[in-house]
Structure 1
Amino acid sequence: MAATNHERVGNALDLLRAGLGPFVEREIKAAMKDGTSIPSLQALASDPLIKDKPITDWDAALLLKVMWESWNEVFRKTLGPAERGLVGELRGHRNKWAHQEPFTSDDAYRALDSAGRLLTAVSAPQSRELERIKMELLRVRFDEQARNEKRKSAGTAIESQGTGSLKPWREVVSPHRDVASGRYQQAEFAADLWQVHIGEGADEYRKPVEFFRRTFLTDSLQQLLVGAVRRLSADGGDPVIQLQTNFGGGKTHSMLALYHLFSGATPSELLGVEGVMKQAGIAELPSVKRVVLVGNKISPGNPVKKEDGTLVHTLWGELAWQLGGRAAYDRIRADDEKATSPGDVLRDLFNEYGPALVLIDEWVAYARQLHDQSDLPAGSFETHFTFAQALTESAKLAKHCLLVVSLPASDTAGSPHTQADDVEVGGRRGREALDRLRNAIGRVESSWRPASAEEGFEIVRRRLFEPLIEQSQFVSRDTVAKAYFDLYRSQHQEFPQECRDSEYEGRLKAAYPIHPEVFDRLYTEWSTLVKFQRTRGVLRLMAAVIHSLWEKGDRNPLIQPANIPIDDPRVQFELTRYLSDNWTPIIEKDVDGPNSLPLRIDGEVPNLGKFSACRRIARTIYLGSAPGSTISNRGIEDRRIKLGCVMPSESPAIFGDALRRLSGAATYLYQDGARYWYSTQPTVTKLAEDRTEQLKSDPDRINRELDARLRADLRKQGDFTKVHPLPQSGQDVPDDVDARLVVLGADYPHSRDASSAAEAAAKSILETRGTAPRLYRNTLVFLAADKTRLQDLDEAVRRFIAWQSILDEKNELDLTPHQVRQAETQKASADSSVNARLPEAYQWLLVPHQPTPQSPIEWQSFRLSGQEPLAVRASRKLRNDELLITGLAATRLRLELDQVPLWRGDHVAVKQLVEDFARYLYLPRLRDTGVLLDAIREGLGLLTWGRDSFAYAESYDEAASRYRGLRCGQMVSLSPENLVGLLVKPEPALKQQDDETPRPTAGGAPTGGDPAKPNGDTSAITGEDSVTGRGEAQTPRQPRRFHGSVTLDAARVGRDASRVAEEVIAHLSGLMGANVRVTLEIEAEIPNGAPDNVVRTVTENSRTLKFNSQGFEED
C-alpha cells in the first residue's frame, strides 16, 4: 500500500534524527571543550527525561530545537544562514506533522527537500535514502496528475493565428524519448559524481557512451579535456585545475567528462573525444587510476570500513585506498589513524600507481565540519589544510597526475550570487575553509572558464532534442529564423535594439526550436536564484515544458516565453520550487490557469482572445520578472515583453492593448514606466479590491454616492416639468397637474415577477400623498433599477469609493508616485464604469395605464436602452409611444371631449378640463397645462371649428340661458395662470350666434335696428318716399361680396401672407356659407434676363404646384 504524505514526512523526520544526532553530539562536545556556555543545554540538564539520554537518542524535534537555540554558540561556525533557515523551516514541518495536520504533495515535497538539504550539509549518509523518498513522491504526484487531470480550455496550447507558412517546431525536430514521454526524472538532470563512481544513477551520466552523446563540448570543456589528456599521457598539461563557478555552473559535469574520458572506453565510441585526442596530439589514451572524493558523501566523524576490511578515517586515507587498495593505504596507515598529514608520501603513491586522476568535489562541505582540536577521526581543521597543500604540491611534482578540485565562486561584494555561495560554503567555518583551500590550491592551479550562455543553448538543445540531420530540417529551421528576424527588423521600434542586428538571426538558429529570449531570461534572472543551478535548472524546466507542449500538440514555429505552459503542474512546480515565497496562488490568480485573470480577459475581449494575448503577456512577464521581484531594478521592459510574445504575421499593437488591460486589472502585477513585474505583495489594486469588499458592510455610504450621482444625472429633465429623485414615500411627491418622473431608490428594484418592489412602491405613491388620496394620478411615471443589474452598479460604486479613499489616504498609505498615478487612472476608470452602469441599471420605466374609465389600473413596464441621461431617455420613450403628449392637436382634443365624454352639458370649463387630464389615467398624459392650452388656441382658430373643434365663452348666464363673450373661430389669449372661460360645443354656439344675428322686419327694417334720426326724418325706418309720401317698405342690403388686393414684400412673403390669413381671411371664412377664394398673382421684371436654370426650375415647380397659368416672356 502506498505511503501517505504524512507518513513520508514522518519517515523523513526519522532519517533526520538518525543523521543529525551524531553531528549535533559532535559539535556540542567540541564547543564544550572550548568552554563555550550553552544556555539551552543547561536548561535541558534539569529535565529528568533528557539529562541521562545520549544526544544520538534525542528525537528530531529536540535536535532541531537545540540547533536553533544554540546556533550562535555552537553551529554558526560550521553551517551558514541557509542551513539555519532549513532548521527553522523543519521545526515548522515537524510541529505540523506532530499535530496530525494534512500535508499536500507540495508541502510534503518541501519538507523532504529541506530535510535532505540539511542532511547533505552535515554529510549524513541518510541523505541518499531521503532523496529516494523524495523522488518517489514526485513520481506519484506526476502520475496522479497524468491519470486524473482532464485538460481544460486553459490547458490547451496557445497557437499563432498567422504563421501558417512556417513549419511547427514539432514537425522539424523531435525531443528525446524520455523527454517527449515524460518518463524522465528530475534527478536525472542532477549530475552526481559520487553516484556515478559507485555505479549508480541514470545511464546518461553513468555510461560513458551515453554521457558524451548528450554532452556538448564547449570551448572550455574541450580545452579541459585536451589538457587532461596531455597531462596524463605525456609531459604537457597543467597538474592542478580549480573549477570555480557559481552554484550549478557545470563543475560536476566537467568532472564527469574527465571521469568518463579515462574510463577505458574506446575513444571512437565517445562522441567528440577523437577530436580532443587529435588536438592533444595523442593517439591512444592511457590506463588511468581514478580517485573520486566528494566532501558531502564522506563524513569526517565516521570511519568507513571497506570491503577488504580496511578502516579509513581521513580524506587522504580514502585517496590512498582508491588509488591502490589496501597496499597503498598501508603506506599511509599511521597518518590516517593519527589524522596527520601524509606529506610527500602522496607523490610516491601517484608515481607508483599513476597515471592518476584525482577529482575532489564539495571539499568545503567536508572541511567546515572539522574542529580546531583533533577530536574527530578525520583530524583537525588546521591539519586538513596542511594535507591540501601537500596534495597540490605532490600532484605538481608527480610524473602523470592530474588533480581537479571544484570550489564555490568568490564572494564578490554586491554580487547577486552571494547567497548562492552561502549555500555551498556554509557558515563562518565554511568561509574560512574556502579561503584556506583557495590559498593552498591557488599557487599551482590553472584557470578554467564555465560554459557561456551561447554554449548553454547547445548544451540544453542536445540534451533535450534529437539532432538535426536532414537538409530539409535545416531549411525549415532557417526559414523560421528568417521570418522572426524580418519581423524584428521591419518593426524595430517594437522590440529591443539587439534584435535588429544580424547576429540575432544566428542566435535564433543556434537555439532552435527554443527562442533565444527563453535562454536569456533563464541564464540571467533565474540563474541568480539559490537553487536553480544554471544549466541543471534550465534542463529541468525545459524538459517539463517540452513534454507538456509535445503532449498538447503545440504547433507554433518556436517555443517562446509566451508558450511556456505555466498552468501545467510540472512546469509550475519547476517555476516555483526555486522561489522563497508562495507563488502558486499568484500564478493561479494573475498569470495562468482556468480561473486566472488573463484567461478571463481573453474570453471577454474577442480581439485579444483570438491570440490569447493576455495569457501570453502574463507568461512572458512572469518568466522575466519573478526571480528578480525583490531587487531594485525590477521588471521586464514592454519591448522585451513583446519579444517574448509576438510571432510573425501578428501585430504588436494587439499585445500592447493586452498589456494595458492586464496591468490595470491584475492584483500582483506592478508597473513603473515601461517596466512590468509580478510580486507576491499585492499592488494597490489589491488594496482597492479589499476595500471594495469591505464596503459591502457599509450600504449607507454606497447609497450616498449613488444618490449624488442620480441627482446629478437628473438635472437634465427631458420633457418632464419636474423630476423627483429617490422619494421615501408619497409625501415627497407633490400632487400637481403637470407630468413628472419619479425615480425610485435602490431599495425598490424591479423584476418581472409578481414580487416587484418597484411596482409596489410606485402603486403606493400613485394612490396616496401622505394620508390623503392622490388626485392627479395621470401625471406620474416611475423609473426603477433592474434587480440583477443593480448588483453590477453596486459593485462599480464600491470600486469607485475604494479608489477614491485610497487617493484620500495616499500620504497615510505612503504610496509611491507610480502607485498614485495608478490609483488616479483606476479611479477614473471606475468613475466611467459607474456612469456606464447607471443607465444600464435604471432601465425600467413603469407607467400606470387605464384603457377605459371602467377598467382597473394596469402597470406597463418598458425596458430602456441607450446612454442618454435617465430623464431624457425616459421622456423620449414615452413621447415616441404617445404615453407623454408634448403637442396635442385640436381635433384630438375634440375627439377626447366627445368620446369620454368630458362635456358638462354643452360646455366644459377650461380649468375643469385641465384637472380631468391630470386626474384620469384613461386620458392622454399631457406634459403640462400649456399643451392643453395650445390645443385650445389651435381649435379656436380653425376655419372649420364648427366641425372639428369648439367655441369659447367667458361664462354662462344661467338666467338668460346664453353664453357671455361667445367667440367662434377667433383666437383667444389663454395662460396657465388664468384658467378662465368655457369650451362650448359648436351646435349651441352656432345657435346662439344665429339667434343673436339682426334680421330684417316685414317692412324691411331690421329688428333691433337704429332708432329714429334726431332730425325727425323717419324714412330710414318706414321706407316712405320723402317726396311722394308713399309707404312702400325698402329693406337695407348687407354687403355680400368682398374683394381686396395687397402687395407683399417679395423677401418676406410667408410672414405677410400669414398676417393676411389671420387678420382678414380667417374672419371671412368664419361666416356661415362664405366661399372665400384667394388668388396669388406673381409678376416679376428681370432687366438682365433669367438664366436657363432658373427658367427650368421655376417652370417645373409651377407645374408641380398646379399654377393655373404661368410663363416667361421676352418683352
Structure 2
Amino acid sequence: MTTELTPWTKIAQPHADIADGSFDEGLFAADLGSVARGRGPADYVNPVQFCEKTYLTASLTDVLTRLSRRLSGDESAPSVHRLQTDFGGGKTHTLLSAYHLFRKPDDVAGTALARGLSEQLGGHAIPKATVAVLDGSDLPATPEQVDSDHRLYTLVGHLAWRLGGPTAYDRVAEADRARAGASTHELAELLSAYAPCLVLLDEMLVYLNNALAIETHEGSLAGTTLTIIKNLTQAAAQVPGVAVLATLTSSRMEDYADVSGTEMYERLSRVVGRSENIVTPVEGDDIFPILQRRLFAATGSEEHRRAVADAYGNHYDSLGDVLPSTFREQNYRDRIARAYPFHPELVDLCTHRWGSLSGFQRTRGALRILAHTVKALWRANHDAPLIHLGDLPLYDDAVRGEVLKFAGESYKSALNADIIRPDSKAPQEDQRRGGQAGQMRLATALATTAFANSFSADRVVGASAAQMMIGVTRPGVSRGVLDDVRDALEGALWYMRLEGGRYRFTTEPNLNKVIVEREAAVHGYDVDQRINDAMRKASPSGQGFRVIHNVAEPSALPDDGRLTLGILDPELRLGGDTDSEALEIASQILKTKGAGWRANLNAIVLVAADAHLMSAARSTARTLAAMQDLLGDRYRLARFNAEQKERLRKRASDSEERLPQQIVMAYRHLLALRDANGEGVKVDHSDLGPARMGSTITERVAAHLKDADRLISDQLAPAALLSQRFAVLPADQDAVELDRLLSYFSQYPRLPKLASEKVLSRALASGAESGQFALSSGTSWDAEDALIRFRESVSPDEIVFQPGTWLVRASAAQALLARRQPAGGPDDKETRGEPSGTQAPVVPSGSTPSLPASPTGSGGRAHGGGARGGGRSDHISAVTVSVRGVPGERMREVVKSAVLPLVGAAEVSVDLQIRASGGPQGVPRQTLDLVVKEALRQLGLTDFHVDEHDA
C-alpha cells in the first residue's frame, strides 16, 4: 500500500463464525413462526444472544417504546402497529425483538437491547406480556391437530391456543369449529383474560391466499379470516394492555400478481389500515450499525474510524470536480465513519440499487452478501483501509451465488471471461501492469464496480465515471492511474459496454469480443500486408540512406557503394528463439552479395525487429485487419448501434495510426560491420533503445550512428583525412586519387560512413584552402601540367571524384611548387603550375579530370601552415588552443572540429573548465552528484575539482 492508513483487517474483528465461514445461512433468514416453535439458529432462538446482537435503531426504539407504553396500560399509546418495509427491510427482526423483550424481559434484562430500551423508558422495567405469534407462512389453512383433543380451524382458534392453550381455546371452540370467526366483543373478552398481551401477525397474505381454497358457510376461509383480523384490531383498541404488531406481506406484489392475490392484499391493507400506526423498521443509515453488530465483534475506536473518514474526505477533496460535491461534504465523511469497515457505496449498492430488485431481500440479502464478503477478504488478508464496492469478491462461490440469484445465470460467462478467474481479462490486466495497479488489483476492482452497478430497477443502469472512481479509489491512488486502467479495460473486456457515459455489463459480447472472434478468421497474408504498409511509412529513405525493405538474402542489397539501410524481413527477429538464424543471415547479407564477397562492406547497415515488439505489432495488424473487415461487413455492422459503430471506426483509425510507430519501436536492433583490429571484420549489434514518438527507423539509425561517430552527415575535419585513425594515405605515399578516397568510405568499416559525397567534397575544399593538403588534377599528381590548388579558396562544387584528381600531402605539394618556381619570383604564373595565358579550367563531363586554378592566382590565405621558404615549418612541436565562451550546446561540435583532428596526429590532453549557472532554480544537486561526478569517475577521470557557489 502507498498510504499510511491501517488495513481494516488489522482493526476490525469479525465474529468467529463470520471469519472462518462457519456461520449458518439461516442466520440471515429469520422466521418468526419457527423461532416461536423453538427452531432455527441460536442467534434467533436464544433470547440473550439475539438481544446482544441486535442494534437499537431509532425506528426500532420508537416502535418498542410505543409497545411498552401500551402493554404497561397507557391507553393513549397506539394499539395496532403495521410494519411497512421493502422485502427484507428489517420487519422480521423487529417482530423478533418484540417477541423476546416482552415475553421474558427478566431473562434479557442485561443485554444491550434491553438496557437501551429501558433507558428510553426513563429507567422503568420492560413490561412482561403474553405473546401470541400468528405467522401466516407457519399456519396451515387446513385444520391443525395440536394435541389429542384439540384441532384448530381458523385464525381465532390459533390465536386463542397461543394465548392460553386449551383453556383459552374453549372460549372460542364453537365458533372456530364452525369456521364462523368471532365478533369484536368475543375477541375483546379473550384478550382481556390474558392482558397484557401482544399479538404478532406476520405473513398474513400467505395464509389468506391459502385460505381462498377453503370453503365455509360464508364463502371462503379467506373472507372469514379478514373479518377476524378486522375484529381483532378493533378489539385490541378497546382493551388496555393489548397491542397488535403486524406485517402484511413477505414479498412484493408481483409475487401475487393474479387478480385474487392483488385483491386480497388490498382488502387486508384496508382492514388493518383502519386502526394502524405505520412504522418503518430500518431507515437511512440505520443499516450501518446493524451490519456492524451482526458481522463484527469489534470495529475499532471512534478515533480511528474518524481518521479513516478524514483521510478519504481529503482524498476526495483533492480530486475536485471529478467527483460530485456529495462526496466532498462533511456528511459523507460522517457516513464513512459510521459504515466502517465498509465503504458507504458498497452498503448503498446492496440496500438501495440491489434492494429494489425483485427477489432480493434488502437487509437479509445485504447481510448474506456482506458476511461472505468479510469472510473471503479476511481469509485473503485484504490490505485496504475500507471494503470498497470494487473489492466485492465475486470469485467467492457464495457471493457470486447471491448475485446471480437476481442477475441471472446467464452472467456466468461474463464473470468467467472478464473478472473472476486468473485468466480473465481484468486479472490479466492487473498482472500485466504490476506495480501499484497490480498490487491493488485496480483493473479487477474497476470491472467489479461496473458489473455490480449493472443491476437495478432504475431505468438508468451502469456506473458513471465518478461511480467507477468512488468504487475503487483510496488515499494514495492517483486519478491518472485509475483513468489509464479504466481506459485499458474498455479495449480489453469482452462483456463491459460504455453507453451513454456509463459502464455496464451485459450477457451479449461487446465489440472487443466480436473483434477477437473476427481476428481468428484473418489470413496471415492480410497481416503481412498491413505490416509491410506500416513498415514503409516507418522507414522512408533519407538521412543519406537508400532504404530497402523485407531484406531476407544477400542478393536483395546491391553492392554499388551507395549508403543503404536494409530493413530485415519481419520474420528475421532478435530477442526470441530465432536469434542464431537471424544473426547468421544478417552476417551473410553484410559480407556477401550472393555469389561472392561484398566489396562495399561499409555501405550497408541492417536493422532487425525485436521478437516481442514485433509480435505486439502483428497483433495490432491482425486486430486492424479484423476491424477493417467488420467495417466492410454491412450485415454485421447493422447489428451495432451508432455509438458502437463510431467506436469501431475510431479504434480502427487509432490502430492504423499506431501501427507504424509500433514498427519503429520493434526495429531496434542495428547490425553493421566493424573493423576487428586488423583481423578482418565482425558484425556489431547495437540496441537503438526506446523510440521517441513520431520518429522513423531511418532517423533512429542515423542518430545512433552519428552519436557513435560512425556516420558523418555535415562536417568532416580535413585533418582526419591525414590521421592514423583513418589511414587513407599510407606513410610512403604522397597522394591518393579522390575517386579511390571516396570508395574507401564505402569499403572499409574502420572508417565512418558518409551521408553523401558532399561531406567529403567540403572537407577537401576546406583542407586545400587551409593548406593542410593540396588538390591536384592531371595524368599524375606531380605531372608537369598538373594543376595544384593549395592555400587558396576552392568551392566544393568544383571537386569531381574521377580518376586524375588527387589529394596531395602539403609537403609534397610545396616541394612541387618550389621546383616550378622560376627565378623571376613567386608572382610568375608558372610557379603555380598554371600555363601562361590560360584561364582557370573547368572539368567538363567526360574530359580529363583537373582541378581549376584559382581565378585570382593570389595563392589564397594561409591557415596554420606556410609556404616553403617562408620561414615557417610544416610541423609544430606542440600547440595549446584556448577557447572561451563555448555554449554548452556547441560542445560536441568543438570536440569534433578542434580536438579529434589533433588526436590523430599527436598526444593530446584536454584541461576542461565548465561554468554552469542554473538560473533562479539553481543546478540540481542530484544532477551534479549522480550524473556529472559519477560519469567522470566511470571514465577514470578522478583529477577533478568542483567549486559550488551558493545562490
Residue aligning to 1:718: 543
Which among 447, 459, 463 is matched to residue 632 of structure 1? 459
1:872-883 maps to which residues of 2 (within 5 A)? 872-881=699-708, 883=710
Residue aligning to 1:79: none
CA distance in 2, matches of 1:194, 1:912: 110
Which among 379, 397, 402 is matched to residue 235 of structure 2? 397
Residue aligning to 1:537: 365
CA distance in 2, matches of 1:220, 1:903: 108
CA distance in 2, matches of 1:452, 1:493: 30
Residue aligning to 2:351: 523
Mark the CA change 1:759 to 1:870 in structure 2 (over 3 Å): closer, same or farther.
farther
CA distance in 1, matches of 2:787, 2:711: 31
1:967 aligns with 2:753: no
CA distance in 1, matches of 2:246, 2:413: 43
CA distance in 2, matches of 1:564, 1:192: 28
Mark the CA change 1:432 to 1:778 in structure 2 (over 3 Å): closer, same or farther.
same
1:1039 aligns with 2:825: yes
Mark the CA change 1:967 to 1:898 in structure 2 (over 3 Å): closer, same or farther.
farther
CA distance in 2, matches of 1:544, 1:369: 35
CA offsets 1:1026-1051 (integer angstroms, 9 cap, x no match): xxxxxxxxxxx5337999xxxxxxxx
Quick one: which amino acid aligns to residue 179 of structure 1?
Answer: I
Quick one: which amino acid aligns to residue 433 of structure 1?
Answer: M
Which among 37, 44, 51 is matched to residue 198 of structure 1? 37
Quick one: which amino acid aligns to residue 199 of structure 1?
Answer: G
Mark the CA change 1:516 to 1:622 in structure 2 (over 3 Å): closer, same or farther.
same
Structure 2 counterpart SS, 1:268: coil
CA offsets 1:280-303 (integer angstroms, 9 cap, x no match): 8986735415233332x44546x5
1:134-145 maps to which residues of 2 (within 5 A)? none
Structure 2 counterpart SS, 1:742: strand
Residue aligning to 2:563: 739
C-alpha contact 1:239 1:396 (8 A) present in aligned 2:
no
Note the residue ranges of structure 1 that are not aligned, 5 or more in a row: 1-158, 410-419, 957-961, 1000-1036, 1044-1057, 1079-1115
Note the residue ranges of structure 2 that are not aligned, 5 or more in a row: 830-852, 874-951
CA distance in 2, matches of 1:483, 1:579: 34
CA distance in 2, matches of 1:380, 1:760: 103
1:694 aligns with 2:520: yes
1:408 aligns with 2:236: no
1:386 aligns with 2:224: yes
C-alpha contact 1:621 1:641 (8 A) present in aligned 2:
yes
Compute the RMSD of aligned alpha carbons.
5.2
CA offsets 1:7-43 (integer angstroms, 9 cap, x no match): xxxxxxxxxxxxxxxxxxxxxxxxxxxxxxxxxxxxx
C-alpha contact 2:65 2:121 (8 A) present in aligned 1:
yes
C-alpha contact 1:636 1:675 (8 A) present in aligned 2:
yes
1:453-464 maps to which residues of 2 (within 5 A)? 453-464=284-295
Residue aligning to 1:285: 127
Structure 2 counterpart SS, 1:537: helix
Residue aligning to 1:361: 202
Structure 2 counterpart SS, 1:633: coil
Q: Which moved more, 1:672-681 or 1:859-868?
A: 672-681
CA distance in 2, matches of 1:358, 1:246: 22
CA distance in 1, matches of 2:77, 2:318: 51
C-alpha contact 2:132 2:159 (8 A) present in aligned 1:
no
CA offsets 1:960-985 (integer angstroms, 9 cap, x no match): xx958423445698879883535498
C-alpha contact 2:102 2:126 (8 A) present in aligned 1:
no
Mark the CA change 1:987 to 1:336 in structure 2 (over 3 Å): closer, same or farther.
closer
Residue aligning to 2:672: 847
Quick one: which amino acid aligns to residue 100 of structure 2?
Answer: H
- Deviation of 1:199 after TM superposition, in Å, equals 0.7
CA offsets 1:936-975 (integer angstroms, 9 cap, x no match): 6667767465xxx77431479xxxxx95842344569887
Structure 2 counterpart SS, 1:743: strand
1:367-766 maps to which residues of 2 (within 5 A)? 367-369=208-210, 374=215, 382-397=220-235, 399=239, 402-408=243-249, 421-422=252-253, 424-425=255-256, 427-466=258-297, 473-481=301-309, 484=312, 493-548=321-376, 550=378, 558-561=386-389, 571=399, 574-581=402-409, 586=414, 590=418, 608-609=436-437, 612=440, 614=442, 618=446, 621-622=449-450, 625-628=453-456, 631-647=458-474, 655=482, 659-660=486-487, 662-663=489-490, 665-671=492-498, 675-691=502-518, 693-694=519-520, 697-720=522-545, 722-726=546-550, 733-750=557-574, 755-757=580-582, 759-760=584-585, 763=588
CA distance in 1, matches of 2:93, 2:248: 14
What is the TM-score of this pair, normalised by structure 1?
A: 0.63
Which among 802, 805, 819 is matched to residue 979 of structure 1? 802
Mark the CA change 1:404 to 1:780 in structure 2 (over 3 Å): closer, same or farther.
same
- Deviation of 1:653 after TM superposition, in Å, equals 6.1
- Deviation of 1:161 after TM superposition, in Å, equals 0.9
1:58-137 maps to which residues of 2 (within 5 A)? none
Mark the CA change 1:653 to 1:977 in structure 2 (over 3 Å): closer, same or farther.
closer
1:112-191 maps to which residues of 2 (within 5 A)? 159=1, 161-163=3-5, 174-191=13-30
CA distance in 1, matches of 2:612, 2:331: 59
Structure 2 counterpart SS, 1:741: strand
Residue aligning to 1:246: 86
Mark the CA change 1:930 to 1:585 in structure 2 (over 3 Å): closer, same or farther.
same
What is the TM-score of this pair, normalised by structure 2?
A: 0.72
Quick one: which amino acid aligns to residue 834 of structure 1?
Answer: L
Q: Which moved more, 1:193-202 or 1:253-262?
A: 253-262
CA offsets 1:656-685 (integer angstroms, 9 cap, x no match): 555555556544444457654455544434
C-alpha contact 1:951 1:989 (8 A) present in aligned 2:
no
CA distance in 2, matches of 1:357, 1:748: 88
1:797-836 maps to which residues of 2 (within 5 A)? 797-802=621-626, 812-813=637-638, 815=640, 819=644, 823=648, 826=651, 830=655, 833-836=658-661
Q: Provide the identity percentage.
A: 25
Residue aligning to 1:25: none
Residue aligning to 2:148: 308
CA distance in 2, matches of 1:355, 1:581: 51
Quick one: which amino acid aligns to residue 544 of structure 1?
Answer: H
Mark the CA change 1:716 to 1:380 in structure 2 (over 3 Å): closer, same or farther.
farther
- Deviation of 1:858 after TM superposition, in Å, equals 4.5
CA distance in 2, matches of 1:408, 1:898: 100
Residue aligning to 2:687: 863
Quick one: which amino acid aligns to residue 791 of structure 1?
Answer: S
Aligned residues: 834
Quick one: which amino acid aligns to residue 736 of structure 1?
Answer: D
C-alpha contact 1:359 1:403 (8 A) present in aligned 2:
yes
C-alpha contact 1:312 1:318 (8 A) present in aligned 2:
yes
Higher gyration radius (CA) = 1
C-alpha contact 2:770 2:863 (8 A) present in aligned 1:
no
Residue aligning to 1:952: 777
Quick one: which amino acid aligns to residue 461 of structure 2?
Answer: R
- Deviation of 1:912 after TM superposition, in Å, equals 6.5
Which among 852, 869, 881 is matched to residue 1074 of structure 1? 869
